[in-house]
C-alpha cells in the first residue's frame, strides 16, 4: 500500500533540530490565572497544567525534559516541567517553565515586598534563561513595571509583564493573546527592558498607565510610542526606541523600595494649603509626588501660602516632584505658576507618569548614601528611559535671511541678559520704544531670566 509506505517513511525521518529559547514564566497572581469560586474569581494554582498544556499554541506535544529553576537565595535548584511552543514564523521554538509564587496575589495587594520577590526570582535565574515573562494583575501592573525598571540594574535580557482582563479559563478572554505575545517576543527579540505587553502592543514598562477597567485595550503609553506591535504576519519592533545599557556592567538588583516614605497628592480647585502641609509633615516622609494642573500649575503665586509650604518642605529635605494630571504632556516652566514652584525647589517631572515618578523616587531614596539634593537632581534626568529629556535652543539666529531691526534688538537683549551684563541690558532697553521684555523671538523665547530682576531693569528706564 503506497500510502502506508509513505507514512512509515515520514515517521522514520529524524526530527529537525531548530534553535530554541528558554523563558521563565513567573506567576504572581492576577486575573489571568483566576478561576470561579463561590466568592467570585480567586487566584488558582496549577496554571501550566490547566491553562497551558491543553492549548496547542503553548504546547507542541513534545514534552521535553524538565528545566531547573533556582528557588531561594541559597541557590537551591528544583526541576520543573517544561513545555515547548510550535515552531514560530522565525523558525524557532520557545521552551518555558513556570515558577508560581507560594501565595498568589490579587494585584491590588502587591507592595514593595512583592516587587522584591519578583526581582529576586529574576536575579536567581538570570543565567539560566534567555528572558522572563511575569504574570500580574492589571490594577497595579503599571506600578510594578515602573518599579522593576529601576530595580533591575544593567538589565541585558527582556523582562515582559502581562496579564488579562478575563481569566485564561474563560471562553472570551484576552489572556491567551497577551501571554503568547509576551512569550514569543521574550523568546525571539533582544529587547533588554522591563516591558508591558497588552492587546498586541509592547510598551516600555515605566511609560505605561492603566486607562480602562474592562476594555481589552487596558493600557496606554501616552508619551512614547509602542516598542513593538504584533500583527497577523510578524512582530514589528521599533529598534530606534529600544533602551539599552551604555556600559557593560554585571546585572544586579536594588531592593527595598519602601513606598511608605513617599506620598502622592493630587491638586484640585479649592485645595487648602493646610492639607498639603499636613501631608508634608507626616512622620518619616521623604518625598512627595504632586499631581498638578496642565503643564505643572498650582493655585497661588510666589508669596502664597501654598508656595511657602512647599518651599519650607524642600528646605526640610523633602523631595517634591511636579507631574501633570493630564494623560499626556509634560511639566515645564511654560506658565508662571509652574516657574514659581521650580524656584521654590520643586522638581519638574517632565513627562513621567505618576507611577514612574513615585517608584523612581522610592528607588532613588533607597540607594546607599542618597541625599535630598542628589535625589532631586536625578529625578529630572532619564535613567531608564522613563522621561523625555529635552533642551531649548536659546536666542539662535535664523538659518537664512537677515534679522529685522526689532529682532536684532530682541536678540541683542537676549545675549546681554545671558552674559549677565546689567549695563548693556539697560542701554538696549533705553533705545527701544517698545517693552522688549514681553516680546518673544522666532523660537518663542523671551529674553528674561531669573538672574536679572525687574526692579533693576526698571531702575534704568
**Tell me, what's the pLDDT at 36?**
81
**Mean pLDDT for the stretch of residues 144-171:** 95
Specify the higher pLDDT residue, 330 or 356: 356
What mean pLDDT, rounded, does the chain reach? 85
Order of strands across the sheet with 347-348? 262-266, 287-292, 319-324, 347-348
Q: What's the rounded Cα separation, in Å, for the pair 387 and 349?
A: 8
**Tell me, what's the pLDDT at 444?**
58
**Tell me, what's the pLDDT at 302?**
67
Is pLDDT above 60 for 6? Answer: no
**Tell me, what's the pLDDT at 446?**
66
Per-residue confidence at 9, pLDDT binned at 50, 70, 90?
A: very low
| Cβ neighbours of 218 (radius 10 Å) | 21
**Tell me, what's the pLDDT at 223?**
94
Is pLDDT above 80 for 131? Answer: yes
Specify the higher pLDDT residue, 37 or 261: 261
**Mean pLDDT for the stretch of residues 131-138:** 96
Specify the higher pLDDT residue, 132 or 165: 132
42-61 pLDDT, tens digit each:
778 889 998 999 999 999 99
**Tell me, what's the pLDDT at 12?**
46
Q: Would you say how long the chain is, in residues? A: 461
The grid cell for 130 is 534567555
* 31 is annotated as an active-site residue: yes
**Tell me, what's the pLDDT at 148?**
98
**Tell me, what's the pLDDT at 441?**
60
Per-residue confidence at 241, pLDDT binned at 50, 70, 90?
A: very high
Whole-number percent of the chain with pLDDT over 90: 59
**Tell me, what's the pLDDT at 381?**
92
| Inter-CA distances, 44 with 30, 96, 104, Å | 9, 20, 8
Per-residue confidence at 451, pLDDT binned at 50, 70, 90?
A: very low
Q: Are 130 and 23 in contact (CB under 8 A)?
A: yes
Q: What's the rounded Cα separation, in Å, for the pair 50 and 54?
A: 7
Which domains does the chain show, CATH number per domain? 18-253 (3.40.50.1170), 259-379 (3.40.50.40), 405-459 (no CATH)
Query: Looking at 28, 31, 235, 259, which residue is catalytic?
Result: 31
Is pLDDT above 90 for 426? Answer: no
Per-residue confidence at 433, pLDDT binned at 50, 70, 90?
A: low
Does this model's pTM top 0.75? My answer is: yes
Per-residue confidence at 449, pLDDT binned at 50, 70, 90?
A: very low
Number of alpha carbons in the 13 Å side-chain half-sphere of residue 102: 3
368-381 pLDDT, tens digit each:
989 999 999 999 99
Q: Among 123-132, 224-233, 289-298, 437-446, where is mean pLDDT lowest? A: 437-446
Amino acid at each position: 500500500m503506497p500510502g502506508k509506505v509513505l507514512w512509515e517513511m515520514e515517521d522514520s525521518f529524524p526530527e529537525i533540530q531548530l534553535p530554541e529559547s528558554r523563558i521563565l514564566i513567573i506567576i504572581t497572581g492576577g486575573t489571568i490565572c483566576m478561576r470561579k469560586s463561590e466568592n467570585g474569581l480567586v487566584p488558582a494554582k496549577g496554571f501550566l497544567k490547566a491553562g497551558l498544556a491543553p492549548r496547542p499554541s503553548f504546547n507542541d506535544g513534545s514534552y521535553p525534559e524538565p528545566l531547573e529553576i533556582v528557588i531561594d537565595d541559597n541557590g537551591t535548584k528544583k526541576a520543573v516541567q517544561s513545555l515547548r511552543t510550535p515552531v514560530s514564523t522565525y523558525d524557532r521554538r520557545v521552551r518555558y517553565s513556570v515558577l508560581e509564587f507560594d501565595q498568589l496575589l490579587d494585584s491590588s495587594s502587591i507592595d514593595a515586598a512583592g516587587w522584591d520577590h519578583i526581582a529576586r526570582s529574576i536575579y536567581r535565574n538570570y543565567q539560566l534563561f534567555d528572558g522572563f515573562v511575569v504574570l500580574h494583575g492589571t490594577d497595579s501592573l503599571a506600578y510594578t513595571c515602573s518599579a522593576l525598571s529601576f530595580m533591575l540594574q544593567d538589565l541585558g535580557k527582556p523582562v515582559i509583564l502581562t496579564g488579562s482582563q478575563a481569566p485564561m479559563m474563560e471562553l472570551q478572554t484576552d489572556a491567551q493573546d497577551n501571554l503568547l505575545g509576551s512569550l514569543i517576543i521574550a523568546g525571539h527579540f533582544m529587547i533588554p527592558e522591563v516591558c508591558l505587553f497588552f492587546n498586541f502592543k509592547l510598551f516600555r514598562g515605566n511609560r505605561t498607565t492603566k486607562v480602562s477597567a474592562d476594555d481589552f485595550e487596558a493600557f496606554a503609553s501616552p508619551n512614547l510610542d509602542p516598542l513593538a506591535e504584533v500583527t497577523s504576519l510578524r512582530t514589528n519592533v521599533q529598534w530606534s526606541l529600544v533602551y539599552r545599557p551604555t556600559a557593560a556592567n554585571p546585572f544586579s538588583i536594588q531592593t527595598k523600595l519602601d513606598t511608605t516614605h513617599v506620598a502622592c497628592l493630587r491638586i484640585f480647585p479649592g485645595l487648602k494649603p493646610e492639607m498639603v502641609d499636613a501631608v508634608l509633615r507626616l512622620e518619616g516622609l521623604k518625598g512627595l509626588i504632586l499631581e498638578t494642573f496642565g503643564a505643572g500649575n498650582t493655585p497661588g503665586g510666589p508669596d502664597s501660602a501654598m508656595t511657602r509650604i512647599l518651599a519650607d518642605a524642600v528646605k526640610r529635605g523633602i523631595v517634591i516632584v511636579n507631574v501633570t494630571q493630564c494623560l499626556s504632556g509634560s511639566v515645564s516652566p511654560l506658565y508662571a505658576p509652574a516657574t514659581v514652584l521650580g524656584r521654590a525647589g520643586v522638581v519638574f517631572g517632565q513627562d513621567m507618569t505618576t507611577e514612574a515618578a513615585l517608584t523612581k523616587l522610592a528607588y532613588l531614596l533607597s540607594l546607599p548614601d542618597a541625599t535630598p539634593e542628589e535625589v532631586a537632581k536625578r529625578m529630572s534626568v532619564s535613567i531608564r528611559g522613563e522621561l523625555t529629556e529635552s533642551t531649548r535652543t536659546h536666542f539662535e539666529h535664523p538659518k537664512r535671511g537677515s534679522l529685522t531691526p526689532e529682532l536684532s534688538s530682541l536678540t541683542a537683549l537676549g545675549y546681554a541678559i545671558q552674559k549677565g551684563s546689567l549695563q548693556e541690558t539697560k542701554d538696549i532697553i533705553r533705545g527701544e520704544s517698545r517693552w522688549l521684555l514681553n516680546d518673544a523671538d522666532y523660537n518663542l523665547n523671551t529674553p528674561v531670566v531669573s538672574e536679572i530682576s525687574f526692579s533693576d531693569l526698571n531702575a534704568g528706564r
